[in-house]
Amino acid sequence: MSSNYPESDAANSTTSSNEHWSSVSKHVVNSYLEANNALLAAMGLPPSSETEFGTLTARNRPETAEEPITELAFGDEAWLMERSVDSYEDLAVGEYVRFTKTIDETDVSAFAHISGDTNRLHLAESFAEQTQFGGRIAHGTLVAGTISAALARFPGLTIYLSQDLEFRAPVEIGTTVTAACEIVEQLGDTRYRLHTTVETDDEVTVIDGEAVVVIKESPSD
């Protein structure tokens, strides 16, 4: 069967695609290496600094916040967090956590590679421009993941039981979003119902929903 595309165009398309996924793979592998280094450090072993893609640079190495939250493995200095209480014993109706980060190009590319969601709406600008959105947007579930990030910042150990989501608006790549989780009902000793939202930096609510979680006291290190 003949092709409508010249061989040179097809080759260029293949090369461009390979370069794109090579870039994505570098980001994913480097992220994996950092998580592995954290495990090695906990075991008292020296970290690994090399991958098949070369040495990690300061640019792609996650930075640890100056005052990290002890419940979390690591953070990034560009991420912002606000919470109403710092003690597990003070958790009650009305307490909240807010988590802020920018959904950037590397987030979208890595999420597409890891999840397998390679919808062209998120990855191909020429295709996305022809849609109702007029350009590429971030995956809805990637944006919703910031809710999980906020939940992880409650004092104690948070475990998801359920999450209802309503996607109200798209999120353009490069947008800074804030996920907010507020306890609205205590369902038992350790079970809570929360109102969960994600807003853009211009205060547009892009996700609204409700979660049920268990928050237990953190095990001692």
Contact 118, 137 (CB under 8 A): no
The position carrying tokens 């988590």 is 99
- The CATH number covering residue 111 comes to 3.10.129.10
Residue 57 and residue 79 in one domain: no
pLDDT at 164: 98
Residue 180 and residue 111 in one domain: yes
In a domain, 191, yes or no: yes
Q: Report how many domains make up the chain.
A: 2
Residue 133 and residue 207 in one domain: yes
pLDDT at 3: 39
Residue 120 and residue 191 in one domain: yes
SS3 at position 128: helix
Residue 75 and residue 30 in one domain: no
Q: Return the C-alpha torsion angle 147, 152, 157, 162, nearest 10.
A: 10
145 φ/ψ angles, rounded to the nearest 5 degrees: -65, -20
Residue 93 and residue 8 in one domain: no
**Which residue, among 26, 154, 184, 175, has the nearest Cα to 103 in the 3D structure?**
175
Residue 24 and residue 89 in one domain: no
What is the DSSP-derived secondary structure letter of residue 107? H
Residue 7 and residue 41 in one domain: yes
Residue 39 and residue 76 in one domain: no
Per-10-residue mean pLDDT of the chain, 221 residues long, equals 43 46 46 44 44 33 47 84 96 98 97 97 96 97 98 97 98 98 96 98 97 93 52
In a domain, 221, yes or no: no
Contact 19, 13 (CB under 8 A): no
Q: Which domain holds residue 124?
A: 63-216
19 φ/ψ angles, rounded to the nearest 5 degrees: -65, -40
pLDDT at 25: 45
Residue 181 and residue 101 in one domain: yes
pLDDT at 67: 54
Number of residues assigned to the chain: 221
In a domain, 172, yes or no: yes
Q: State the sign of the Cα–Cα–Cα–Cα dihedral 24, 30, 36, 42.
A: negative
Residue 27 and residue 54 in one domain: yes
What is the DSSP-derived secondary structure letter of residue 196? E
